Amino acid sequence: MYPYFQKNTPLHAAERTAADPIRTFFTQNPAFGTLLFQVTGGQGAFPVEGATITITKALADGVSLSLRVVTDESGKTVPLSLPAPSRALSQAPNGGIVYATYQAEVSAPNYVTTDIRDLPIFDGITTIQPVNLTTDIGGRRQNEVEEIEDKEPDL
């Protein structure tokens, strides 16, 4: 039903209750938005092939959903369908939050890893997330992580 996500821990029959964090998440996010990454190096001058992107969503009780994709020769990922709240919520006053947020980690050999926080996904909208990786020649910056925090959308 949700092909891009996998649970990090086994889901036992005893966990399948109405309070299950995964069930709750999908109930609150019945729609889908699309996310595509464009990863470049050299301040956007060239695509980075083979960059690994891990997208995660932390849920209640220490449960998280994650998926991993790799960029192609053009530095792009396949379009990813991610759960999001229904756009119908935006049609009513105080309808609630109309987007879901995700985290992403982008890494590639010879580049500094980049973490992206609070990446918003909206129902029916395709988000193209550009990521410019910084070169790490000689591995001197291998323990460094560059962070990008998206601002909460001003709706």
The pLDDT assigned to 113 comes to: 93
**pLDDT value for 29:** 93
pLDDT, residue 54, reads 97
d(C-alpha 73, C-alpha 59), whole Å: 33
* DSSP-derived 3-state class of residue 145: strand
Rounded CA-CA distance 38/40 in Å is: 7
Show pLDDT as tens, one digit a residue, over the chain (155 residues). Answer: 344 454 444 444 444 555 689 899 999 999 999 999 999 999 999 999 999 999 999 998 888 999 999 999 999 999 999 999 999 887 777 767 899 999 999 999 999 999 999 999 999 999 999 999 999 876 666 666 777 776 666 65
pLDDT number for residue 61: 86
Which residue in 20, 26, 39 sits closest to 113, CA to CA? Answer: 39
Looking at residue 16, what is its pLDDT? 52
Taking alpha carbons only, the member of 109, 119, 123, 108 closest to residue 147 is 119
- State the pLDDT at residue 31: 95
Please give the C-alpha separations between residue 56 and each of 13, 92, 154, in angstroms, as whole numbers: 24, 29, 23
CA–CA dist 44, 135 (Å, integer): 12
Q: What is the pLDDT of residue 151?
A: 64
Q: Strand 46-47 vs strand 31-41: parallel, antiparallel, or unpaired?
A: antiparallel
